[in-house]
């Protein structure tokens, strides 16, 4: 009988960027996004076309979330009915009325940036901070430093669904860095050092077709761990991995049974920022039409003190 290794064992020889940007660093591989990278991205703007990558929060067709999380709920606090006869609408000089609402949302429950301290093993989060610093809120490597910094640079779309000639990748389907390279070559581009990677699977199409079936056999498709893959990300100095799945990688590694290996090998150890649950459909359609798969990407999660992640609406400009 084979047993599932723990992450400590599996990643014992894996590379790490801890300390590379100082003992107090909290933004990891985003440090690769220097002014030069920002300008390289801006230099790709050709036609002034904008694409927003956030999925709708409160989508009438449902919000895909990680099992155990619930979609955001929005509550109306004030609307015109509050000024009906006997209502509690506040009276303002001049007769002002206004609408107010609030949401109750998992900060990881929509298109989001993960904080680098969002996952860990062995009692240490990114950069070696003690995992006890997460208790009651992330004192280290929360989403706040990423939000304070912002993210901008040259980015490429790797349309894995189109490359494989399918509408969407199926549950548990995997690919690796060699597939990304092949996909890039088929698209006529090169993945350059420090590129922000956007990977399209269109897997969430299956959520919108039948949510029960989607969760019934929940195992998202995506990148799968190997020592070579981690080395490729390290050598390429990839700052940010952006995908259209809930968790950016195959949920359970088919080779060893471990869950979310790359969250640890790439995010915890290398400090690569993860952006999840993006909608890449309009962008992919445009790329297929004009054959241009490289562009400027810019995003800034919300500045939320001690948070594990934050909703975001990344923007691509071509
Ligand atoms: C988990 O880490 C469980 O989820 P995600 O990073 O997809 O928000």
Residue 66 Cα to ligand 1 middle (Å): 7
Pair 279, 55: CB distance under 8 Å? yes
Pair 254, 118: CB distance under 8 Å? no
Predicted confidence (pLDDT) per residue in 181-219, tens digit = 999 999 999 999 999 999 999 999 999 999 999 999 899
Q: Per residue in 9-37, is it b (16+ CB within 10 Å) or e — as a string?
A: ebbeebebbbeebeeebbbbbbbbbeeeb
- Residue of 263, 268, 272, 312 best suited for mutating to test ligand 1, as the one with most atoms within 8 Å of CB: 263
pLDDT at 133: 98
Token look-up 């809120």 returns 137
- Domain 7-63+109-317 coded CATH 3.30.160: no
Burial class (CB in 10 A: 0-12, 13-18, 19+), 86: exposed
Residue 307 Cα to ligand 1 middle (Å): 13
- Ligand 1 near 116 CB (within 6 A): no
Listed by start position, the domains of the chain span: 7-63+109-317, 73-104
Nearest-angstrom CA–CA distance, 238 and 233: 6
Strand 273-276, strand 294-299: pairing: unpaired
pLDDT at 217: 84
Residue 244 Cα to ligand 1 middle (Å): 13
Nearest CA to ligand 1 atom 4: 247
DSSP states of 65-114 as a string? --TT----EEEEEE-GGGGSTT--PPP-TT-----EEEEE--TTSSSEEE
CB < 8 Å & 24+ apart, contacts of 124-127: 124/268, 125/268, 126/18, 126/26, 126/28, 126/267, 126/268, 126/269, 126/271, 127/18, 127/19, 127/23, 127/25, 127/26, 127/28, 127/271
Angstrom CA distances, 197 to 8, 100, 142, 160, 191, stand at 27, 37, 22, 12, 8
Nearest CA to ligand 1 atom 6: 247
Reading the block at residue 108, the tokens are 């990881």
Pair 180, 187: CB distance under 8 Å? no
Residue 82 Cα to ligand 1 middle (Å): 39
- Residue of 112, 114, 309 best suited for mutating to test ligand 1, as the one with most atoms within 8 Å of CB: 114
Contacts of 289 (CB under 8 A, 6+ apart): none
- Ligand 1 near 246 CB (within 6 A): yes
Crossing angle, helix 227-236 and helix 177-186, to 10 degrees? 50
Beta bridge partners of 310: 113
- Ligand 1 near 220 CB (within 6 A): no
Residues of the chain with pLDDT under 50: none
Residue 246 Cα to ligand 1 middle (Å): 7
Nearest CA to ligand 1 atom 8: 108
Predicted confidence (pLDDT) per residue in 249-297, tens digit = 999 999 999 999 999 999 999 999 999 999 999 999 999 999 999 999 9
Reading the block at residue 250, the tokens are 């195959």
């Amino acid at each position: 009988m084979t047993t599932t290794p723990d992450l400590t064992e599996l990643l014992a020889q894996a590379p790490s960027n801890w300390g590379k940007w100082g003992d107090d660093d909290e933004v990891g591989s985003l440090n690769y996004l220097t002014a030069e990278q920002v300008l390289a991205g801006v230099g790709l703007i050709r036609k002034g076309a904008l694409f927003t990558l956030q999925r709708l929060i409160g989508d009438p067709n449902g919000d895909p979330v990680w099992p155990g999380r619930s979609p955001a709920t929005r509550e109306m606090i004030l609307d015109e009915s509050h000024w009906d006869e006997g209502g509690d609408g506040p009276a303002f000089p001049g007769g002002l009325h206004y609408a107010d609402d609030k949401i109750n949302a998992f900060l990881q429950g929509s298109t989001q940036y993960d904080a680098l301290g969002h996952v860990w093993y062995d009692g240490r989060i990114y950069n070696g901070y003690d995992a006890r610093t997460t208790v009651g809120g992330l004192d280290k490597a929360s989403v706040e430093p990423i939000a304070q910094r912002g993210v901008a640079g040259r980015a490429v779309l790797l349309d894995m669904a189109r490359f494989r000639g399918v509408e969407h990748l199926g549950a548990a389907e995997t690919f690796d860095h060699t597939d990304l390279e092949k996909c890039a070559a088929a698209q006529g581009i090169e993945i350059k050092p420090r590129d922000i990677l956007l990977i399209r699977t269109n897997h969430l199409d299956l959520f919108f077709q039948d949510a029960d079936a989607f969760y019934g056999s929940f195992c998202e498709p995506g990148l799968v761990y190997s020592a070579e893959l981690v080395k490729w990300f390290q050598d390429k100095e990839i700052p940010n991995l952006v995908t259209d799945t809930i968790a950016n990688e195959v949920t359970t590694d088919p080779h060893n049974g471990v869950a979310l290996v790359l969250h640890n090998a790439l995010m915890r150890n290398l400090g690569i920022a993860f952006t999840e649950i993006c909608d890449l459909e309009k962008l992919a359609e445009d790329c297929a039409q004009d054959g241009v798969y490289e562009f400027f990407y810019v995003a800034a999660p919300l500045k939320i003190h001690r948070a594990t992640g934050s909703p975001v609406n990344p923007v691509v400009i071509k």
